[in-house]
Amino acid sequence: MKNLYLFLLVFLVLFQLKAQNLDKLRELCIDEVNLSKYSGELSQEELQNQIAALGFRYIENGQIKYHKELIVYDCNTGNVKFTAVFDQNRLEKEFVLYESKDIIAKKIIFSKNNQSPNVDLSLNYKGQEIPAYPVGKAEIFNAGKLSQVINFKEYGSLPLVTNYNANLKKTSEGPANISGDIQGNWNIAKVGEWKNFNNGKLASISIYDKSGNEIAKKLYNNGVLIEERKNLSNGLIELSTFFANGNIKENGQLKGNTKIGSWKYFNTIGELKEQINYLNGKENLLLVFGENGNFIERTELVNDKSELTKSLQNLSSVYKYQSYYSNEKLKSEGYTSNGKKVGVFEVYDERGNLSEITEFDIEGNKINSLDAGTYQKLKIKEKQIFRELLVAKTTHPENLNLINNIRILTDSLSIDFDSLMASYNYVKDYEKKYTSLESETSSFGNLANELNWYDSLLAVSQDFNNEVWAYSHDLFETELALEKQRALNIMGAKFSSLTERHTSIKKTLFGEKIVVMNEQDEIYEFVMEELYPVMNTEISTAIDKYEVRSTVKDFSNLLKKASSIISQPDEKFQQSLQNTESVQDKKQLFLTVK
Tell me: the pLDDT tens digits for 232-257?
988 899 999 999 999 999 999 999 99
| pLDDT digit string, tens, across residues 212-231 | 999 999 999 988 999 999 99
pLDDT tens per residue across span 503-553 = 766 555 544 444 444 556 777 778 888 888 888 999 999 999 999 999 999
pLDDT in tens, 173-196: 999 999 999 888 889 999 999 999
Q: Calculate the average pLDDT of the chain.
A: 82
d(CA 272, CA 294): 10
User: Cα 274 to chain center, whole Å?
Assistant: 25
Closest CA to 212 of 254, 237, 175, 184: 175
Among 64-73, 123-132, 381-390, 473-482, the range scoring the smallest mean pLDDT is 64-73
Question: Is a pLDDT exceeding 70 seen at residue 137?
Answer: yes
Q: Give the CA angle between residues 281, 284, 287 to the nearest 5°.
A: 125
d(CA 526, CA 514): 19
Helix (H, G, I), strand (E, B) or coil at 534: helix
What does each C-alpha distance from 591 to 269, 554, 566, 572 come to in angstroms?
Answer: 83, 9, 14, 15
pLDDT exceeds cutoff 50 at 2: no
Check pLDDT > 70 for residue 5. no
Q: Is 205 helix (H, G, I), strand (E, B) or coil?
A: strand
Is pTM beyond 0.75 here? no
Give the span between the Cα atoms of 123 and 186, in whole angstroms: 12
Give just the sign of the alpha carbon dihedral 497, 502, 505, 507.
negative
DSSP assignment, residue 527? I
37 pLDDT above the threshold of 70:
no
Domain ranges in the chain are: 1-89, 92-190, 392-436+456-594
**155-164 own/partner pairs: CB under 8 Å, 24+ apart:** 155/116, 156/115, 156/116, 156/117, 156/118, 157/116, 157/118, 158/118, 158/191, 158/192, 159/116, 159/118, 159/119, 159/134, 161/188
Secondary structure (3-state) at 290: coil
Give per-residue pLDDT as tens, 293-310.
Answer: 888 999 999 988 878 888
- Confidence class for position 148, pLDDT limits 50, 70, 90: very high
Comparing CA positions, the residue from 315, 305, 306 lying closest to residue 438 is 306
**Percentage of the chain modeled with pLDDT above 70:** 84
Q: Which amino acid, 120?
A: D
pLDDT digits (tens, 9 = 90+) for 403-433: 999 999 999 999 988 888 877 888 899 999 9
